[in-house]
Amino acid sequence: VAPDLKFWKDPIPVLVFSCNRAMAVRDHVQKLIKYVFQLYRPSQERFPIIVSQDCDNEDVKKEVMAFGDKVQYIKHLAGDKTNITIPPNHRQYIAYYRIARHYKLALDHVFVDRGYTSVIITEDDLDISPDFFSYFSNTRYLLENDPKLWCVTAWNDNGKVP
C-alpha cells in the first residue's frame, strides 16, 4: 500500500552514478525498479530513473539498456579523455576532479536540460531499503520550507549490521 504522499507530488528523479561496475548497476537499478513498482507504479513519472555513466565500459551500458524504457541512460565523455585542468599541486586528486566533472554534467542534465526541481542521488554500489521512496517523498517538503536546508539525506556511515 502506498503511503500518503501529501507533502510532495512532483517528480523526483533518481540519478544513479555509474562507471565500470556492470553487475552493481544492474542490481541497484533492479532494486530501485522493484521498490518503486511496489509502492508507486505502474507510472514511471513519479520517480524516473536516470543512469549517468562516465566511463567507457560497454558492459555497464548493456546492463542499463536492458531495462528498456524503465530507465533513462546518459553517457558522458570519459573523464580520462577530457582536458581537465588540474593544478600541479593537485595531481594526486585527479579522480576527485573527474568525479566532480561527472556530477556537474549529470546534475546539469537533471536540472537544466530536464527542468526537475529535485533529485535523489545514488551510486551503483549503494544498497537501498524498501522505504527509500517513501522517505524521500515525505521529506522533500522540508527543502521547500527551510531556506537553510540544502539536502535531505539517508546516508549513514554506521548503517551496518552490528
Identify the residue with better confidence: 52 or 4.
52
Tens digit of pLDDT for each residue in 83-127? 788 888 988 988 888 888 899 999 999 999 999 989 999 999 988
Interatomic CA distance for residues 143 and 50, integer angstroms:
22
End-to-end CA distance of the chain, in Å?
Answer: 30
Looking at the DSSP assignment, which residues form a beta bridge with residue 49? 14, 71
Q: Hey, what's the cell of 23?
A: 553487475
How many helices (DSSP H) and strands (DSSP E) are in the chain?
4, 4
Query: Which position has the grid cell 546518459?
Result: 74
Burial of 69 (0-12, 13-18, 19+ CB in 10 A): exposed
d(CA 47, CA 103): 19
What does the pLDDT average to over 44-52? 88
With 60 as the cut, is the pLDDT of residue 7 above it? no
pLDDT digits (tens, 9 = 90+) for 131-146: 888 888 888 888 888 9
Question: Nearest to residue 128, comparing CAs of 22, 60, 49, 28?
Answer: 28
Beta bridge partners of 71: 49
On average, the pLDDT of the chain sits at: 85
For 14-18, 65-69, 80-84, which range has the lowest pLDDT when averaged over its residues?
A: 80-84
